Chains A and B, each alone.
Chain A
């Protein structure tokens, strides 16, 4: 007796991130519809499923194309470094060309069926021993054959035939809008069991690609849309946000922030696997904090990776030099890598992918991003938050330290969207604020939060000179620095008022509500 299997077996697609949101892959031995608007990445994703089968799982595949001629397709995917021709020559992949010949006339003279196509696909499967099949752009079949009812019926038969052969099939189909019907021509009727939607929306003048598993019959999957990128190195990469595990391993090892007094405020330094957010208005010394944080790494002989989003490499290097930190030498020594990319050059998903690659390649002990808020400019709040979460989880996963800076718009006080968005994700928040005091601008620093340790909660004045940042004594007699409207309470007066209230309380007989 066979035991009843609760969930259908899954076949890993090998598409980065997809198998995570699909709880293992697409249903094995079945057909899955991959639907999306023009340019949403259907063909690339389908081909990746096929190529990964050969490369990573030793499973050969058949590629049935209805729209793009095989030669064009092979040419197009060469930019991904995919040698489809080589795999065809090596009998790893078989191609079935079901594209219409341009200019070819067809005449309909009576009943017909698509048995020939099925026979050709079966022949392809047999010739390479395929386990995976893709039917790319089946919509192109409908205008070729005038009777769409017959086409639908026949596609149904082909799906059944492929199922009988035990292959796992990915069918791509174009849809005309991002919402509404899954595909044109009523195709959902014949591959209704498993549907994946790709979207390519314009959000605030930025293209945002997402993938959503609409349904898997008899199998589980993550719900909702997940952003993905397409690039020449990995093809499709899905960012499985909710599937990211936030492992809080919580190291007890402390590292120096580069400012000794700040380390003392934090009871001995930052935690090794923590995320530090340094937030302040322009000119408060955030980039200087970054420089000192990197200097501390260099002094400890550890590698640091700096992502610059607002300033060029030259500017960063020159500024650091003015504070006595030699970035150029550190780079030569292999202790530092500076990567400068303006946020505007690509989408956040692509930034994330590139940054992850940089981190994996350089293997730093510390990462700094100056500034994180620059990335907020080019994205929607949602994708910005996803970006921060994904980056944070990458850094934490590697048990290294991350320092992000955030530029607040108000000179004194206030909080930015970045703060509200990412403060819950960060472990330590350091605020740098201008303080208007006795008619001059001074600077105040406070450790707003630090997970897992006690810390100095005072607002301390700090000064910047050519040696860097120096933290001094707390501001005395000032309230409301963080709100941006400080009020002064002078010592004498405070004493007088305290005395006054104490006396009043005694007179009224110690009303508990008043204390």
Chain B
């Protein structure tokens, strides 16, 4: 099972936040066929969560599972880098040897 647990931190409902949400939805639907769980957290509403996870920049996507934990910073418009951050190349290689 390759269940992804992701958390997207945004600060306020800005166009940049919306762009990140849209990009993430797109990637999840097309790439994460193994199942995924996404939480979107607004730092303005939950600053202590951001404190715990030491979030400085937003948008930041945190890949909590599978390990290693990784922070993917930016509005996720660079799709290739996002996939790299999610270790999806490795996943696809192991799926199709």
Cα–Cα distance between A414 and B43 once the two chains are bound (Å)? 75
**B43 adjacent to A119 (CB under 8 Å):** yes
Cα–Cα distance between A107 and B87 once the two chains are bound (Å)? 11
A104-B69 contact given A116-B57, A119-B47, CB 8 Å threshold: yes
**A106 adjacent to B44 (CB under 8 Å):** no
Q: Which of chain B's residues 59-97 have a Cβ closer than 8 Å to chain A?
A: 59-61, 68-78, 81-82, 84-85
Encode A91-128 as 1/0 by CB contact (under 8 A) with B: 00000111101001111111111111101101100000
Q: Please give me the residue from chain A that is nearest to B56 by CB atom.
A: A117
**B81 adjacent to A99 (CB under 8 Å):** no
Query: Is B29 in contact with chain A by the CB < 8 A criterion?
Result: no
Q: How far is the CB of B48 from chain A (nearest CB, A)?
A: 7
Residues from chain B with Cβ under 8 Å of A116 in the complex: 9, 11, 43, 50, 55-58, 60
**A120 adjacent to B50 (CB under 8 Å):** yes
Q: A107-B81, A108-B78 are in contact. List 20 more A-B contacts (CB 8 A).
A: A105-B70, A107-B71, A108-B81, A109-B61, A109-B73, A109-B78, A110-B74, A110-B75, A112-B60, A113-B11, A115-B11, A116-B11, A116-B58, A117-B55, A119-B11, A119-B47, A120-B51, A120-B55, A123-B47, A141-B56
**A112 adjacent to B47 (CB under 8 Å):** no
Q: Is the interface of A mostly helix, strand, loop or mixed?
A: mixed
Cα–Cα distance between A119 and B58 once the two chains are bound (Å)? 11
Q: Which of chain B's residues 4-46 have a Cβ closer than 8 Å to chain A?
A: 9, 11-12, 16, 19-20, 23, 43-44
Query: Is A145 in contact with chain B by the CB < 8 A criterion?
Result: yes
**B74 adjacent to A109 (CB under 8 Å):** yes
Q: Mark A residues whose CB is within 8 Å of B.
A: 96-99, 101, 104-117, 119-120, 122-123, 141, 144-145
**A112 adjacent to B48 (CB under 8 Å):** no
**A113 adjacent to B57 (CB under 8 Å):** yes
A-B complex: 8 closest residue pairs judged by Cβ atoms: A115-B11, A110-B74, A123-B47, A107-B85, A110-B77, A109-B74, A110-B75, A116-B58
**A109 adjacent to B56 (CB under 8 Å):** no
Q: Please give me the residue from chain A that is nearest to B57 by CB atom.
A: A112
Residues from chain B with Cβ under 8 Å of A115 in the complex: 11-12, 43, 58
**A117 adjacent to B70 (CB under 8 Å):** no
**A112 adjacent to B58 (CB under 8 Å):** yes
Residues from chain B with Cβ under 8 Å of A96 in the complex: 51
**A114 adjacent to B73 (CB under 8 Å):** no
Residues from chain B with Cβ under 8 Å of A120 in the complex: 43, 47, 50-51, 55
Cα–Cα distance between A464 and B22 once the two chains are bound (Å)? 98
Q: Mark B residues whose CB is within 8 Å of A.
A: 9, 11-12, 16, 19-20, 23, 43-44, 47-48, 50-51, 54-61, 68-78, 81-82, 84-85
**A111 adjacent to B74 (CB under 8 Å):** yes
**A108 adjacent to B60 (CB under 8 Å):** no
Q: Which of A97, A101, A108 contacts B73 (CB 8 A)?
A: A108
**A105 adjacent to B68 (CB under 8 Å):** yes
Query: Can you list 26 A-B contacts with CB-CB less than 8 angstroms, sorted by A residue number?
Result: A101-B54, A104-B71, A105-B68, A107-B72, A107-B85, A108-B73, A108-B74, A108-B78, A108-B81, A109-B61, A109-B74, A110-B23, A111-B75, A112-B73, A113-B58, A114-B57, A114-B58, A115-B12, A116-B57, A117-B57, A119-B43, A119-B44, A120-B47, A123-B47, A141-B56, A145-B73
Residues from chain B with Cβ under 8 Å of A123 in the complex: 47-48, 51
A106-B43 contact given A96-B51, A98-B56, A113-B16, CB 8 Å threshold: no
Q: Please give me the residue from chain B that is nearest to A107 by CB atom.
A: B85
Q: How far is the CB of B59 from chain A (nearest CB, A)?
A: 6
Cα–Cα distance between A118 and B59 once the two chains are bound (Å)? 13
**B54 adjacent to A107 (CB under 8 Å):** no
Q: Which of B16, B54, B57, B74 contacts A99 (CB 8 A)?
A: B54
Residues from chain A with Cβ under 8 Å of B55 in the complex: 116-117, 120
Q: Please give me the residue from chain B that is nearest to A101 by CB atom.
A: B54
Residues from chain A with Cβ under 8 Å of B74 in the complex: 108-112
Residues from chain A with Cβ under 8 Å of B75 in the complex: 109-112
Q: Please give me the residue from chain B that is nearest to A98 by CB atom.
A: B56
Residues from chain A with Cβ under 8 Å of B20 in the complex: 110
Residues from chain A with Cβ under 8 Å of B81 in the complex: 107-109
**Which of B50, B57, B72, B84 is the most central at the interface, judged by chain A CB atoms within 10 Å of its CB?**
B57
Residues from chain B with Cβ under 8 Å of A122 in the complex: 47
Residues from chain A with Cβ under 8 Å of B48 in the complex: 123
Cα–Cα distance between A141 and B50 once the two chains are bound (Å)? 17
Residues from chain A with Cβ under 8 Å of B58 in the complex: 112-116
